[in-house]
Amino acid sequence: MQPIDKITVNLEALLPFYDENLEVSRHSNAIKTLAGEELGFALLIEHFRRIDVTAMLLNRTCNTGNRKGSRLDGWIEAKRISSATCTYYQVEVKSWSIHGVGGDSTPLPLTASAEELATYKKRLWSHYWSNGQLTEPALNKVLIPNSSDDVIKSLDII
């Protein structure tokens, strides 16, 4: 099978599917599971490309100090074209929708006004963030700090 260099994503069809249609819960989760992480990594790598940074997803495990438990999704190696220095990012990709973590089932239409969007963001922030931490325990993995030693050890693992 030949690798695919580019795909076209129809945002005007994808966003209502994830954020408006309450009846597709089972299907949206299957699609997020199958393609959400890869799409998120591809979007980040494309962002880097557009700002003249070469980036790639590494085939290495993110290590938070434990062999088991929640881990971030992957490592991105990024290097500015004019530099020999690489920067390594541990990345957590979130493919949330109205059907996802925490079960907020309030649709956000693609046509939402700036005011509606601001209200929605504030409500979700209040729902997921309280007393300096995320309210869903599985999400707190994004707040675990890593020292530079942890980064080097994590890169050496696999």
- 86-142: per-residue pLDDT in tens? 998 888 888 777 776 555 567 777 788 999 999 988 988 888 888 888 887 777 777
d(CA 19, CA 21): 6
Amino acid 51 reads I
Answer yes or no: are the C-beta atoms of 87 and 70 closer than 8 Å: no
d(CA 91, CA 9): 22
Q: Supply the pTM of this predicted model.
A: 0.68
- 6-64: per-residue pLDDT in tens? 777 787 888 788 777 778 877 777 777 777 788 889 889 999 999 999 999 998 777 65
Amino acid 3 reads P
